[in-house]
């Protein structure tokens, strides 16, 4: 709150000084002859109010995904859109300078500030600091997967302190084994209120709402409200993000509605346009690197500069994916002879110290420079900047069931698999991340993945 206020005040009054001068607070502006200092105070107040109205400091979104950033952007846009409309209606002639200066600078600084606070909080959470004490209420079959997921990902902000189980499981001997730790069973469903008070829980997660029953759920929510404890209900839907879920009362009965994935129609067209524009700009920016890399490959070894490999894209249509050649020219024919050294997961073929990689290839693969020619695939429409990993034909032949949904969107130069470990991921993890992306695509999530990709490339995480 303090940093948001400091940024808004600094940016607005900074724009005033740049536009009207350092001693302009009493200067009259516009046809209404309003003191410019009063205008700045009004803009500051409106901006801060809009940030609060858009719930940019909601604990439920802080460090929990792209929603935090999208709320900041929308709050800034609404503030200055309202200012521009008021200026137009009342012919004040004062909005243009503030919109041109304060709006872009303030928005970027607010995003940067929240990112810095978010990074600090995530770093502390990974050290298991600043975590909410979570009590899980549910059967062991539904509670254990949630506990395991939260234990593997402390950056989500929860420390599971215990479980309340149904009466039929109350005689279970010993704690619940989760990864490398154990979580104690603290009582039955009926003991939840007492357990919360004794254990000092700040959040309660219900994983077996159907076992608890309608009346008990209602009474439990009343109890948690009296204790000032947050209550969440796990819907049992894996890899479906919040924007697709909404609670809508139907005849007084609350129902959880799941919207269809947004990879069709206008969303696909908008994503394609953003991809092509972004790729064209990146080609211009990286042109010197592209030229230098091509020269280095030509000097290092004999053979073509580019490597073209068939991949399977949208709707199982094959296409040629461009890369800088990082291996010897007959690398594909040597693959069968190196099968015993395969370290890849599932259908992936990976070798950490691949003997087929050239000297220049080791450098460009380490920093993912070999993938830059895929920008031309994006411009041509066969790939996206962000999407699932482009698979080989033999991989797609082994797809079955839900895995085939990866082919509902164009493959990407980067994606959740890229920023979550790349070659260090297991096959199951990479598939889960790709499916999660397909089901929950949004423009803001693409922007976050691109930003995290830059960090992953610099850190060289999982690149070989």
pLDDT (0 to 100) of residue 66: 80
Reduced to 3 states (helix: H, G, I; strand: E, B; else coil), residue 178 is strand
The HSE-up count of residue 156 (CA atoms within 13 Å, CB side) is 14
Contacts of the segment 178-184: beta carbons below 8 A, 24+ positions apart: 178/144, 178/147, 178/148, 178/151, 179/148, 179/151, 179/152, 181/151, 183/136, 183/147
pLDDT per position in the chain (464 positions), as tens?
999 999 999 999 998 888 777 766 666 766 667 787 888 898 999 999 999 999 998 888 888 778 889 899 999 999 988 888 887 777 667 767 778 888 999 999 999 999 999 999 999 999 999 999 999 998 888 888 888 888 888 988 999 999 998 887 767 667 878 777 888 988 888 888 889 988 889 999 998 877 777 777 878 888 787 787 888 887 665 555 555 566 666 656 667 666 666 566 667 788 889 899 999 999 999 999 999 999 999 998 888 999 998 999 988 889 999 999 988 887 777 776 676 666 555 555 666 677 788 889 888 988 889 999 999 999 999 999 998 888 888 878 877 766 777 777 889 998 887 777 655 566 667 777 777 787 777 777 888 888 888 877 766 555 54
pLDDT (0 to 100) of residue 373: 95
Please state, in angstroms and rounded to a whole number, the distance separating the CA atoms of residues 129 and 132. Answer: 9
pLDDT (0 to 100) of residue 244: 59
Cβ atoms of residues 441 and 262 within 8 Å: yes
pLDDT (0 to 100) of residue 285: 93
pLDDT (0 to 100) of residue 266: 67
pLDDT (0 to 100) of residue 34: 74
- Give all domains of the chain, ordered by start, each with its CATH number: 2-126 (no CATH), 132-236 (3.40.50.20), 265-459 (no CATH)
Please state, in angstroms and rounded to a whole number, the distance separating the CA atoms of residues 216 and 209. Answer: 9
Reduced to 3 states (helix: H, G, I; strand: E, B; else coil), residue 91 is coil
pLDDT (0 to 100) of residue 394: 80
Please state, in angstroms and rounded to a whole number, the distance separating the CA atoms of residues 106 and 100. Answer: 11
Element (H, E) at 293: helix 287-300
Please state, in angstroms and rounded to a whole number, the distance separating the CA atoms of residues 203 and 182. Answer: 19
């Amino acid at each position: 709150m303090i940093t948001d206020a400091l940024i808004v005040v600094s940016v607005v009054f900074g724009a005033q000084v740049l536009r009207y001068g350092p001693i302009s607070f009493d200067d009259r502006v516009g046809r209404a002859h309003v003191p410019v200092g009063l205008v700045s105070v009004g803009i500051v107040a409106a901006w801060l109010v809009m940030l609060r109205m858009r719930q940019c400091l909601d604990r439920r979104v802080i460090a929990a995904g792209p929603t935090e950033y999208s709320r900041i952007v929308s709050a800034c846009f609404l503030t200055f859109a309202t200012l521009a409309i008021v200026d137009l209606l009342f012919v004040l002639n004062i909005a243009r300078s503030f919109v041109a200066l304060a709006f872009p600078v303030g928005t970027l600084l607010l995003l940067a500030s929240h990112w810095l606070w978010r990074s600090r909080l995530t770093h502390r959470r990974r050290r298991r600091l600043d975590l909410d004490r979570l009590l899980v209420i549910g059967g062991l079959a539904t509670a254990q997967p949630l506990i395991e997921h939260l234990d593997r990902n402390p950056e989500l902000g929860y420390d599971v302190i215990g479980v309340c189980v149904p009466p039929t499981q109350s005689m279970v001997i010993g704690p619940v084994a989760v990864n490398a730790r154990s979580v104690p069973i603290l009582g039955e469903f009926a003991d939840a209120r007492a357990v919360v008070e004794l254990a000092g829980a700040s959040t309660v997660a219900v994983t077996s709402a159907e076992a608890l029953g309608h009346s008990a759920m209602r009474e439990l929510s009343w109890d948690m409200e009296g204790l000032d404890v947050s209550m969440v209900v796990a819907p049992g839907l894996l890899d479906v993000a919040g924007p697709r879920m909404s609670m809508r009362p139907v005849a007084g009965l609350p129902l959880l509605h799941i919207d269809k994935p947004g990879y069709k129609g206008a969303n696909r067209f908008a994503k394609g346009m953003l991809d092509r524009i972004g790729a064209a700009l990146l080609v211009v920016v990286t042109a010197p690197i592209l030229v230098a890399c091509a020269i280095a490959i030509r000097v290092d070894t004999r053979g073509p500069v580019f490597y073209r490999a068939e991949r399977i894209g949208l709707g199982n249509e094959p296409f040629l994916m461009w890369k800088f050649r990082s291996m010897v020219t007959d690398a594909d024919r040597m693959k069968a002879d190196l099968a015993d050294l395969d370290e890849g997961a599932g259908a992936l073929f990976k070798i950490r110290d691949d003997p087929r990689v050239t000297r220049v290839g080791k450098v460009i693969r380490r920093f993912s420079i070999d993938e830059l020619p895929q920008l031309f695939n994006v411009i041509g429409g066969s790939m996206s900047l962000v999407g699932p990993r482009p698979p080989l034909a033999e991989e797609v032949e082994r797809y079955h069931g839900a895995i085939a949904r990866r082919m509902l969107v164009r493959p990407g130069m980067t994606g959740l698999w890229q920023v979550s470990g790349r070659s260090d991921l297991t096959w199951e993890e990479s598939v889960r991340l790709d499916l999660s992306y397909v089901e929950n695509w949004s423009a803001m999530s693409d922007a976050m993945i691109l930003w995290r990709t830059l960090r992953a490339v610099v850190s060289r995480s999982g690149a070989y």
